[in-house]
Amino acid sequence: MNAFQELMAHAATRPPVGTWLMSASPIVCEAMGCAGFDWGVVDMEHTPLDMMEVVHMLQAMAGTPMKPVVRVPWNDRVTIKRVLDAGATTLLVPFVQDAEEARAAVAATRYPPEGCRGVAGMSRASRFGTTQGYVATANRSIGVIVQLETAEAIGKLDEIAQVEGVDALFIGPGDLSATMGLPGQLTHPRVLALTADGVRRAKALGKPIGTVGGTPEVVREYLAMGFDFVAIASDLGLLMRSAQGALSALRGSATSDIQKTSQGAY
């Protein structure tokens, strides 16, 4: 059982709640873990995070109950190899469009003959060579979550979900709405209808499916829709809204020099 499967073990009674980690700060990352989040996404896609910063954030999370998920910037086997060698055990792969791309993502996480991950004897993943039999057992310990972010991808959800090695699906509402020609309209009826259809089909296949929302209210609606795991906002989003709320309380909500962060922003 890999770390993500452990996270999902009790999802039926208590859906895991996570958050996005975009600050590139190990201290903030550790604090979010201590706050009680079940899982956290170290986001390499939409941040300037480099590989060493990913390592530092994984180290920071190791002392907290928060399970780490690393979102790689793209479905690229070299980046996936490096992130795994850095010690990540669950990956979120963006913009997976079909079963072939899902198979490529899984293959990049597996050592031969099951996949194409390059072998390194000395890495953080193997505790610098001290984990006996790491290469022989690693394939069973890596979690793969694939992200569906277009109507076309959700249309192919069934074939993607049935790819061996795909542990879960994740609907990205921001890109989904944008690629449907409705940028920023996450609650548009067409977006919500397609999202609900994706949830229904994933559940019929017994495949866990998750998403992210910017506020508790939005996340509650996603849970009511049937999502198995959810994330709320990000470290930066929560920081900005808290900071702006404190300033508004002191200066007055109409103060012109405070630009409110969008409630839909993560």
pLDDT digits (tens, 9 = 90+) for 100-148: 999 999 999 999 999 999 999 899 999 999 999 999 999 999 999 999 9
Q: Which residues neighbour 131 within 8 Å (Cβ) at sequence distance 6 or greater?
A: none
Residue type, 9: A
Q: Is the dihedral of CA 183, 175, 37, 74 positive or negative?
A: negative
- The whole-angstrom separation of Cα 225 and Cα 35 is 26
- The whole-angstrom separation of Cα 13 and Cα 118 is 38
Domain ranges of the chain: 3-247
H-helix or E-strand spanning residue 157: helix 157-161
Average pLDDT, the chain: 95
- The whole-angstrom separation of Cα 164 and Cα 158 is 12
Using only the alpha carbons of the chain, give its radius of gyration. 19
The reported pLDDT for the residue numbered 265 is 66
For residues 6 and 204, the model is more confident at: 204
The answer on pLDDT for 32 being more than 90 is yes
- The whole-angstrom separation of Cα 190 and Cα 18 is 26
- The whole-angstrom separation of Cα 234 and Cα 240 is 10
Q: Is 46 a catalytic residue?
A: yes
- The whole-angstrom separation of Cα 124 and Cα 37 is 24
Q: For tokens 């929560």, what's the residue?
A: 238
Q: Which residues neighbour 118 within 8 Å (Cβ) at sequence distance 6 or greater?
A: 81
E strand residue ranges, 73-150? 90-93, 143-148
Catalytic residue among 10, 46, 56, 188: 46
The answer on pLDDT for 258 being more than 50 is no
Candidates 40, 90, 75; CA nearest to 60 is 40
Q: Which residues neighbour 24 within 8 Å (Cβ) at sequence distance 6 or greater?
A: 47, 48, 49, 53, 57
Global pTM reads 0.95
Q: What is the mean pLDDT of residues 221-239?
A: 98
Other residues' Cβ atoms within 10 Å of the Cβ of residue 236: 19
Fold for domain 3-247? TIM Barrel (3.20.20)
H-helix or E-strand spanning residue 234: strand 229-234
Cα pseudo-dihedral 201, 207, 211, 216, rounded to 10: 100
Residue type, 146: V
